[in-house]
C-alpha cells in the first residue's frame, strides 16, 4: 500500500472519537474461515460487514474493522483518507475490484519499484492481514467524523500551567545536542543525550510521531502524532516532560512555532490531514485559537476537492508568517500571524500533491516537493510569489532537503526520490549564480530508489542518503555517503543494519549532531524485533556507537534540537 503505501504513513478514523475507534478496531481478531463440503457454512452466526457496493468481496465485520485499522496505520498517509490518491495512487473501489484480490495481494506483499514497500517481505503485515487488506480496499472508503473547536477544546489539557513551570533550566543536559527520536509503533518519543548517548526519557505521544519541532527559544519541543495528538514538552524540567496536549484532528502530519522577532514562542500551528485544515494555538499552552479549513478547488483544473490535506508547515525567519502547504490543491499559503483576528493569507499557485520540503540556505526560498508531479516548487517568501517549478526525478521525497555549496555551481538544495535512484541538486542563488538558479545542475547516483531522507551539515563535506523503501533488503539496510568536494566520485555504500547486528530492518533518516561531526541513523526493525540507533563518525565513516535498548521500538525520525531549532540542514 504505500503506493499502496509509504511505510512511514498512516491516517483515518471513521467514527465519532478517533482513537477510540482505532482502539476498538485493533481489539477485533480476524476469524479463520474454513469451507467444508456439505453441511452449513462455518460463517453462520458470524456478523458480516454490509457493504453498499454489490461488487465488493464479502467481509466479516471483524475483518472490515481489522482492515480499517491497518489502513489507518500503513496506507492513508499516501493514498488519502478517502482513497483518492496523492503520493500513492488512488485506491477507489471499482479500479481495485478490476485488479482483483489475488493481484492486490501480490502488490501489498512485494511492493513496487516506485517506492511502495513490500509489507509481506518486510514482515510488517501477516499473510492474513494482506489478504484482508486486498479485500478491504475493494470496499467503499468510510468517511471519518469532522473535528471542530468543541472537540479540540474537549481534548485540550494543560498538565503543568505556565506559572508552575521552572524559571530556569533544572537539569545538566546539553539540550542543544538532544535528539528527539520517534518510536513509531509505540506512540512515544525517546529523548537521547547526544553527548553521552544515554536515553534521558521515554515520553508517551501520539501514534507514529511524524516530526518534532522546537520553539524559537529552544526550550519547548512540539510533537505531532499521525493520530492528531500534539505534545508540548518542556526541556527545562529536571526530567523533560509533557506540559500540555491537544488533539487537532484524527490524522495529522505537521507542526511549527512562530520564529519572527517579537513573536518568539507565541504561537504554534498544526496541520491536519483530517479534517483538512490548519489550527493556530497558543505556543505556551496549546489552547486552540483559530481553525482554518483548506477544502476548496485545485489550482489547475479548478475542480472541488473534499480532502486537501496540510502536508508540511515551516515558520518564516524574515516575516511573521507560516508557510502552509496544501497537498491536493497544489497551493502554498503564507499565513500572516501578526493579527490572527483579522487573518491575512497569501495564496500561491504552485503544483499539486505538495509534500515535504525545507528552506534554502538563505531561508528566503522554500523548496517543496510535489511528488506525484515530479516537481519541486520554489516559493519566494520575501516577495510572496512562486519563483519556479523545477522538474526533477520520479516522486521526489526530500524530507526537509539539504543545502551545500557545489564545487562548480554554487549554493544548491537537494532531494532524493522514491521512484528512481538519483539525487537532484537544484541551484538556489539567483543573485550570484543566475544561470544555475532553479535548475537541476547535477545528478548524484544513490545506491537505490526508495529514498526518504538525505542530509549534510555546514561543517561537513559528506552527504548521507537512505533508501528504506527499496524492495531489496541489502539496499534498504544501507546508506550512500558522497564526498561533496569530489561529486564525480561514486558514493561509498555502507550497510548500517549489519553494523548494528540486526538482520530484519530498514535504515532511515540520517541526522547530524549539533557539532556536525556525527551522523545518527535509525535501524528500524519490525515492532516485535530488535531496533537500534547507529552513530557514525562523519569524517571517517566508521561506527562510533550503537545504541540499543529493548524500549527502542521502531525508531524512525530523529530530530537534533539545535539543528531543528535553527533549520540547519
Active site residues: 75, 78-79, 116, 355, 397
- Give the integer Cα–Cα distance in Å for 452 and 78: 13
Q: What's the gap between Cα 139 and its chain centre?
A: 27
- Give the integer Cα–Cα distance in Å for 206 and 384: 34
Residues 6+ apart with CB under 8 A from 555: 181, 182, 183, 184, 190, 522, 523, 524, 531, 532, 533
Instruction: Report which DSSP code applies to 175.
Output: G
Q: What's the gap between Cα 400 and its chain centre?
A: 10
**Residue in the structure block whose three cell numbers are 530488535:** 530
- Give the integer Cα–Cα distance in Å for 367 and 567: 13
- Give the integer Cα–Cα distance in Å for 137 and 213: 34
Task: Find, among 4, 17, 201, 197, the residue nearest to 86 by Cα.
Answer: 4
- Give the integer Cα–Cα distance in Å for 132 and 386: 44
Q: What region does 158 belong to: left with phi over 0, alpha with psi -120 to 50, or beta?
A: beta
DSSP string, 128-173: HHHHHHHHHTTSPPPPPPP--HHHHHHH-EESS-GGGS-SS--S--
**Residue in the structure block whose three cell numbers are 505521544:** 205
Q: How far is CA 484 from CA 437, 441, 517, in A?
A: 19, 14, 15
Q: List, as own/partner pairs, every contact residues 97-105 make where C-beta atoms lie below 8 angstroms and the sequence separation is at least 24, other chains included.
A: 97/55, 97/56, 97/57, 97/138, 101/57, 101/131, 101/134, 101/135, 101/138, 102/134, 104/4, 104/133, 104/134, 104/137, 104/138, 105/130, 105/131, 105/134
Q: Determine the 3-state secondary structure of 282 from DSSP.
A: strand
Q: β-strand 462-465 against 157-158: which pairing, if any?
A: unpaired
CB atoms within 10 A of CB 37: 4
Task: Find, among 478, 569, 461, the residue nearest to 517 by Cα.
Answer: 461
Amino acid at each position: 500500500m504505500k503506493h499502496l503505501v509509504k511505510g512511514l504513513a498512516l491516517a483515518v478514523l471513521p467514527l465519532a472519537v478517533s482513537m477510540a475507534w482505532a482502539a476498538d478496531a485493533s481489539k477485533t481478531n480476524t476469524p479463520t474461515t474454513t469451507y467444508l463440503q456439505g453441511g452449513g457454512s462455518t460463517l453462520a452466526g458470524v456478523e458480516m460487514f454490509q457493504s453498499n457496493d454489490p461488487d465488493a468481496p464479502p467481509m466479516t465485520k471483524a475483518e472490515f474493522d481489522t482492515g480499517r485499522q491497518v489502513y489507518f496505520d500503513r496506507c492513508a498517509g499516501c493514498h488519502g483518507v478517502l482513497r483518492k490518491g496523492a503520493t500513492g495512487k488512488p485506491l477507489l473501489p471499482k479500479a481495485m475490484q478490476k485488479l482483483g484480490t489475488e493481484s492486490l495481494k501480490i502488490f501489498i506483499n512485494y511492493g513496487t519499484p516506485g517506492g511502495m514497500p513490500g509489507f509481506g517481505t518486510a514482515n510488517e503485515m501477516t499473510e492474513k492481514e494482506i489478504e484482508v487488506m486486498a479485500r478491504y480496499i475493494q470496499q467503499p472508503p468510510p468517511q471519518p467524523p469532522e473535528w471542530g473547536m468543541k472537540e479540540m477544546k474537549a481534548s485540550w489539557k494543560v498538565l503543568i500551567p505556565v506559572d508552575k513551570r521552572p524559571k530556569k533550566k533544572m537539569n545538566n543536559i546539553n539540550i542543544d545536542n538532544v535528539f528527539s527520536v520517534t518510536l513509531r509503533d509505540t506512540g512515544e518519543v525517546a529523548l537521547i543525550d547526544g553527548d553521552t548517548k544515554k536515553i534521558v526519557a521515554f515520553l508517551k505521544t501520539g501514534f507514529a510521531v511524524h516530526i518534532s519541532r522546537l520553539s524559537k527559544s529552544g526550550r519547548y519541543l512540539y510533537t505531532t502524532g499521525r493520530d492528531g495528538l500534539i505534545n508540548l514538552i518542556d526541556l527545562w524540567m529536571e526530567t523533560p516532560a509533557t506540559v500540555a496536549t491537544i488533539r487537532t484532528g484524527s490524522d495529522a502530519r505537521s507542526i511549527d512555532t512562530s520564529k519572527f522577532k517579537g513573536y518568539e514562542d507565541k504561537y504554534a500551528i498544526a496541520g491536519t490531514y483530517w479534517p483538512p485544515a490548519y489550527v493556530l494555538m497558543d505556543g505556551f499552552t496549546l489552547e486552540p485559537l483559530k481553525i482554518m479549513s483548506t477544502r476548496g478547488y485545485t489550482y489547475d483544473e479548478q475542480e472541488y476537492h473534499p480532502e486537501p490535506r496540510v502536508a508540511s508547515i515551516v515558520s518564516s525567519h524574515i516575516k511573521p508568517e507560516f508557510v502552509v502547504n496544501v497537498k491536493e490543491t497544489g497551493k502554498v499559503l503564507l499565513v500572516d500571524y501578526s493579527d490572527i483576528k483579522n487573518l491575512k493569507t497569501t495564496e500561491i499557485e504552485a503544483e499539486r500533491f505538495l509534500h515535504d520540503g525545507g528552506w534554502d540556505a538563505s531561508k528566503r526560498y522554500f523548496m517543496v516537493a510535489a511528488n506525484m508531479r515530479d516537481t519541486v516548487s520554489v516559493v519566494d517568501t520575501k516577495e510572496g510569489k512562486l519563483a519556479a517549478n523545477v522538474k526533477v526525478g520520479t516522486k521526489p521525497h526530500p524530507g526537509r532537503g539539504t543545502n551545500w555549496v557545489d564545487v562548480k555551481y554554487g549554493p544548491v538544495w537537494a532531494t532524493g526520490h522514491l521512484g528512481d535512484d538519483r539525487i537532484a541538486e537544484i541551484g538556489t542563488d539567483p543573485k550570484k549564480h543566475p544561470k544555475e538558479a532553479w535548475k537541476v545542475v547535477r545528478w548524484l547516483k544513490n545506491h537505490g530508489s526508495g529514498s526518504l531522507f538525505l542530509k549534510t551539515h555546514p561543517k561537513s563535506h559528506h552527504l548521507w542518503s537512505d533508501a528504506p523503501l527499496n524492495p531489496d533488503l541489502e539496499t534498504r539496510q544501507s546508506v550512500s555517503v558522497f564526498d561533496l568536494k569530489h561529486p564525480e566520485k561514486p558514493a561509498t555504500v555502507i550497510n548500517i543494519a549489519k553494523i548494528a547486528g540486526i538482520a530484519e530492518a530498514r535504515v532511515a533518516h540520517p541526522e547530524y549532531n549539533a557539532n556536525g561531526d556525527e551522523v545518527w541513523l535509525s535501524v528500524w526493525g519490525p515492532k516485535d524485533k530488535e531496533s537500534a540507533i547507529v552513530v557514525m563518525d562523519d569524517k571517517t565513516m566508521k561506527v562510533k556507537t550503537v545504541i540499543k535498548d529493548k524500549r527502542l521500538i521502531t525508531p524512525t525520525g530523529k530530530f537534533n534540537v539545535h539543528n531543528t531549532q535553527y533549520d540547519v540542514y
